[in-house]
């Protein structure tokens, strides 16, 4: 009887290490991903964290911005900026000689003072 118990004890201790890894909780996923040497996402993936530049047309004479992507105008109404798909009549007639501006903002008027001094009415420089 004692030899049978010893044999079972040795057998259990011999096979115990084989079942131990089954108790280990592996991290979720378990997939290794390597970063390409150039960095950034692969060509088929969107660039998370990178904001594409927004293109606006600034009309210096009317002090109006137009966003082709949103098909919307930004204009001053008193001391407030308004966004609309149409312009008030008095501003429509002043739309000429736009300046193309690229910004990383949804609010082109954020740099209005800079644009007003950089592109005075009648002296627009076509810039991209």
Long-range contacts of 21-29 (CB under 8 A, 24+ apart): none
Predicted local confidence at residue 3, as pLDDT? 82
What is the rounded CA–CA span in Å between residue 128 and residue 123? Answer: 16
Residue 32: predicted pLDDT: 57
- At residue 81, the pLDDT reads 93
Residues lower than pLDDT 50 in the chain: 128
- Torsion sign (Cα): 101, 104, 109, 110: negative
4 vs 10: CA distance, rounded Å: 10
Predicted confidence at residue 57, as pLDDT, reads: 95
The pLDDT assigned to 128 comes to 46
Q: What is the pLDDT of residue 72?
A: 93
Locate 22 and state its tokens.
């089954």
Rounded CA-CA distance 22/18 in Å is 8
User: What pLDDT score does 91 carry?
Assistant: 87
> Where along the chain do its domains lie?
54-118
Distance CA 108, CA 99 (A): 13
* CA separation for the pair 101, 108 (Å, rounded): 9
C-alpha–C-alpha distance, residues 63 and 79, integer Å: 13
């Amino acid at each position: 009887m004692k030899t049978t118990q010893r044999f079972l004890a040795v057998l259990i201790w011999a096979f115990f290490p084989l079942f131990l890894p089954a108790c280990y909780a592996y991290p979720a996923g378990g997939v290794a991903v390597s970063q390409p040497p150039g960095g950034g996402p692969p060509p088929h993936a969107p660039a998370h964290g990178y904001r594409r530049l927004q293109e606006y047309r600034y009309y210096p004479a009317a002090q109006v911005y137009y966003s082709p992507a949103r098909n919307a105008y930004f204009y001053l109404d008193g001391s407030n900026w308004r966004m609309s798909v149409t312009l008030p009549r008095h501003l429509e007639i002043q739309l000429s000689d736009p300046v193309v501006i690229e910004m990383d903002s949804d609010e082109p008027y954020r740099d209005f003072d800079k644009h007003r001094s950089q592109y005075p009415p009648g002296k627009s420089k076509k810039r991209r």
